[in-house]
Structure 1
């Protein structure tokens, strides 16, 4: 009997606690109708579910995230030509706007590199604008797009220009790419398309004479497909095909014909990501370039591509890559195309929350099609970032680059830069 009375008392006490108004800071599991956990009980009685949301949240209602930075650097550069070293001040402004939505995200950014040499020569090295975004049509299908516009101008004292060049040509380039991906269970399919335009200004020489670079202006279109098959969780076998059309505005001044061409490329490889610690991807393929003019010799090349990212812990990141590219020959006389193999490696080590060390290495081997000309280079670099406070970093970098060209002496380039970076 006492047990029954105790049970009745406990039940009454629980009911009293659940029906009593909630005091400040009290936890009421079922809600009492006086807070937002049961908003309909305090709504206007003439309407049905006055506080219900009848439509999904507005995708455009999210706040735009603004990220910005400004890097100021001073450096000394010895290009290995035997001339006196050059001293340069560099400004690196950047601003990015991002917005995340229910189905994806959008971003737009503007960045630049402005340099000033001690001798009074100042110019905009590059100015880049970009806009892009992603959108999920459903749980299995996603879309992505990006457009870039860039204005750039090389250093006339660089190894790609003759000693009598006073001003390198101004280059305006724009590109756009769209892609769609679909999950088909064990298979995954991605298609992509691209378009681009590149326009070169005049080259100015020491005697104020100029040369036209219209023959380097190009319009390009491309399309590609990638099909992957999941062999095991985290291991995907894939094939990738690509076709690129390049049209030139004017004939080559050395060959007297336009270098219009179509390049076809096919690759097969494996992609692996078993844990967040290690990502691997490698492929092997064949590329073939077909020139529109019959007097030009078509050529084929073996394509090597690989990438590895290793993160054993939060303090260390190692990245390596091997790439193959076919590009236009530039101003190299008699060449129809440039085939480049490149290998790069990077390491980043976070010593503590305010100090990060960096190092990198690179190697490239380029062959100019149509002529017996080779170009090789390799370089090393090291740097450090020191977090002075939440919005200011101190930076220090050193780089070395050795370049060897056919029928030309090798050059060794050294560069040291120190600076500060302000950021959000």
Structure 2
């Protein structure tokens, strides 16, 4: 309680130099105004026993009050900070031990000593100091009779003060864990809602894309049956390619929709990487011809992965090489693979304009475009990075000898990817 009036000069209390940081740290523990901490009563009882006194208390010093978080020998309560003995102790450089408080100028006129609140004589307090050095309060022991502490008792009091801080830290981390779990639960609910919307969208896409594509496939099939087309080698080749591309597009839509309905999780299976790469080259053949590029697909292995995602990965890489070709020389792109202890490394190398070393991390970020002169959205390589991460793989951007860019994707060995699929 406070005793300020027009007739009584209000008491003052020392303020630590780090007061604002100290109060901010104290707020982070969430103990002021909170429920009692169940582990503290045992610690204060042990402190009284170790020091051979009848009273012990954990005092927390807030901006305006002394809050007794746990007490032994009396009922815990609160008082004004200006009445607190521990408000003085928190600015001291070390543990305070006072045989007779009436003889100590720091405490002689304190209401806990004068009899206004209590008649404390012996008093000792060890600071509760956080990891940054801010003093939150004290572990205090006292008696109404003068008393001494042995060196062992003083050390015991200091150790128990550290134990009190451990209890406070445990409480703080428990609160942080509860907050994190609450956030996870809220995120999970949002993901469930998002996945539900995604499934609805997938059904709409199925209707909007598959139906017209069915018509395209039907008309191309009819075209293939026309005798004049069947008799013309060039016409038959064009129709066959159109039918093949449309069929692959149909399958890709099916895969993408299945992928969406699973909530975006990759579906791992054995994938013939060379077959995927050759299909990509065929699908972008128009762009390859327009760029007068030469694309070479070397022997590529069978890997474990999501076929749809790996197809998107390779197609984005090849399309990027075509887009950022060096207009001053023939565009050349090669797809090769090499086995290593970590798995298979797929290299997609071109002789284009290259990517400066300092910009290589940036190009993997969403909506990043290094050149505004070349059409693009800035999401292609960011998509590749997400696919790489989903496969537990790694992506490294190197320079091609002689100039250009080499993308190296290292896919883990099948056993590692199967393990990844099980936890996805």
TM-score normalised by structure 2 residue count: 0.16
Instruction: State the structure with more CA Rg.
Output: 2
Question: More helix per residue: 1 or 2?
Answer: 2
TM-score normalised by structure 1 residue count: 0.16
